[in-house]
Structures are given as structure tokens and as C-alpha cells.
């Protein structure tokens, strides 16, 4: 019986922390083929943008639009990146000068100048109830 009470308390804390988590649903458009998978990442801090995501999702590609869900994120602001991993490498393929050769996009459909957009440009808000955002691949 002594072990049972701490287990109930631990489960209660776990459920409380999950109660404050939300799902971020991302509709990804602009897919021209069904090659590979679409990979999506969420970043909570500017210094981690495009380096250390706090959440990820992957879905099979198909022409048109796909939907990915990054589950159990705390409500707040996140910058998003997505790309279609057509060659299955797990990384955005680039040409010899570093330009992407696979379709990619960012939160708010942000576009950078001579490189990726900033964290601030790619930032979306996740409410406590969860929400849906759209990224179009280019």
C-alpha cells in the first residue's frame, strides 16, 4: 500500500503537466509529388532556431496538402520550419552553394533575405486549447 500512494501522486503530477500541453496542428501545402516525408520542427528560443527543436512531426508526402501534429507543447510562441525530405536523408538537401533543392517553408510563410528567415519572422502562437497554422512549401 505504501508504494501505491506515491504512484497515484506521481500520476497526478504527470496528468497536471499534460493538462497544460496543447497540440499544434500544421497544414503543409504546396507539395508537388509524393516523394519521401514532410518533416516539421518547432523551436521555442531564437538561439535554438534551426538547431534544437522542442517538438517535431513527420508525415508521408502526397501531392497538394498534408497535416502534421506536434503534440503536447506548452502554450506559447514557436518558430516553425518544414521541408519535404524527398531523398530520405533526414536533412534539407542543398546544392553546392548551399541553396535548398528540396521544398521548404517556415511559420507565417516567412521568407528570408540571403538565407532563412529569423525566429521572429517564423514565429506562431500556440494557445492553451491548441490551434492550426499553415505553411506553404516553396
pLDDT digits (tens, 9 = 90+) for 45-94: 999 999 999 999 999 999 999 999 999 999 999 999 999 999 999 999 99
Sequence-distant (6+) residues with CB within 8 A of 126 are 22, 24, 73, 74, 75, 76, 77, 78
Radius of gyration of the chain (CA): 18
- The pLDDT tens digits for 96-138 are 999 999 999 999 999 998 899 999 999 999 999 999 999 999 9
Q: What is the pTM of this model?
A: 0.85
**Residues listed for the chain:** 138
- Position 20 scores a pLDDT of 75
Rounded Cα distance, 56 and 91, in Å:
13
* Mean pLDDT (whole number) for 8-17: 40
- Position 107 scores a pLDDT of 98
* Domain layout of the chain by residue ranges: 22-136
- Position 81 scores a pLDDT of 98
- Position 114 scores a pLDDT of 87
Q: Is the pLDDT of residue 13 over 80?
A: no
- Position 8 scores a pLDDT of 38
Return the SS3 of 78: strand
- Position 18 scores a pLDDT of 47
Return the SS3 of 86: coil
- Position 109 scores a pLDDT of 97
Rounded Cα distance, 94 and 87, in Å:
11
Amino acid at each position: 500500500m505504501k508504494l501505491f500512494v506515491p504512484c497515484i501522486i506521481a500520476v497526478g503530477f504527470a496528468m497536471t503537466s499534460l493538462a497544460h500541453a496543447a497540440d499544434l496542428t500544421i497544414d503543409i501545402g504546396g507539395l508537388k509529388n509524393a516523394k519521401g516525408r514532410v518533416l516539421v520542427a518547432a523551436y521555442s528560443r531564437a538561439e535554438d532556431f534551426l538547431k534544437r527543436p522542442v517538438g517535431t512531426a513527420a508525415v508521408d508526402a502526397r501531392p497538394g496538402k498534408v497535416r502534421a501534429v506536434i503534440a503536447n507543447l506548452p502554450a506559447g510562441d514557436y518558430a516553425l520550419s518544414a521541408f519535404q525530405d524527398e531523398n530520405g536523408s533526414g536533412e534539407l538537401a542543398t546544392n553546392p552553394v548551399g541553396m535548398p533543392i528540396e521544398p521548404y517553408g517556415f511559420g507565417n510563410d516567412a521568407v528570408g533575405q540571403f538565407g532563412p528567415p529569423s525566429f521572429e519572422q517564423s514565429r506562431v502562437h500556440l494557445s492553451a486549447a491548441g490551434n492550426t497554422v499553415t505553411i506553404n512549401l516553396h
